[in-house]
Each structure stands twice: as C-alpha cells, then as structure tokens.
Amino acid sequence: MDLIRCYHNLMNFEFLKIDKNFQVENCRVDNVNNIIKELYKRIIIPLYIPVLILISFMLIFKSKENTNYPKYRFLIFLIGFSTIILSEMTIRFISADLTKNIKFFIISIILIITLYYNYLVKFKHLKTLK
C-alpha cells in the first residue's frame, strides 16, 4: 500500500482518497521508475502464475500412450518457459507512463482468458464424445 500511496502522490492523481502527508522512505520523483517496476512485480507478475498452471494443464489433453506425447510434453515445456521469459522481459519495458503499462497488464489477462476458453472448448468437445 505504501508503494501505491507513493506513486499516487508523485503523479498527483485524484482518484484515490489518500492522505498527502504520509512519509515513505525513497518516495521521490527520481525513483518513479523503480516504484513502477516494483508495483509491476507485485501486482502483474503474479497473474502469470495462473497462466503457467493453465499451460501445464494442457498435458491432460493427450494420452501418455500417444506416440507424439514426448514431443507434446516438450512443446508444453517450451510454451511455459517462454511465458516465464515473457513475464520477466516485460519488466524491462515498464515506464513512467501509466497508459503504456496497461498493455502489459492486458497481455496476462488475454493469456488467462484464451487458455481458459481453450479448456472450455476442449472439455465441451470431450463431453459431447461420451
């Protein structure tokens, strides 16, 4: 909360009712980029955990007896690994402009929705096969 208050006060936002007289160590204008990166690490990066879980659940769509299962498992590993790399790389692109940072938040939300929709379609298809 202190980071949010600090960022709120430094950017002179008016949408939150936050006391302007509070003091936080290192809450200075020259630290805005570090504050934003830390907020990103604490708020957005945890959204990639459900993405990684949904990616690993993709293994249940193929049987272990399938001849292509080792390749499929390796593909799932590469997708998960690239997701981790993507989440860590986006930290470098975080800037002081809030509107530019929203796209990195949207990336994680789109990934979650896309993977979840994929599961709904697959399970609906499996349900109709029975």
Each residue's pLDDT tens digit in the chain (130 positions)? 777 777 767 666 665 565 656 666 777 777 777 878 888 888 888 888 999 999 998 888 888 888 899 999 999 999 999 999 988 888 888 876 777 788 888 888 998 999 999 888 888 876 666 5
Q: How far apart are CA 38 and CA 54, in angstroms?
A: 25
Closest CA to 104 of 123, 124, 90, 92: 90
Question: Would you state the structure tokens that stand for residue 95, as one six-digit string?
Answer: 């800037």
For 111, phi then psi, to 5°, come to: -65, -45
What does the pLDDT read at residue 81?
96
The domain segmentation of the chain, as residue ranges, is 1-40, 44-130
Question: Would you state the structure tokens that stand for residue 65, as one six-digit string?
Answer: 């007896």
CA distances from 46 to 61, 108, 125 (A): 25, 10, 31
What does the pLDDT read at residue 19?
60
What does the pLDDT read at residue 105?
84
What does the pLDDT read at residue 32?
75
pLDDT per residue as tens digits for the range 78-109: 999 999 998 888 888 887 677 778 888 888 89
What does the pLDDT read at residue 82?
94
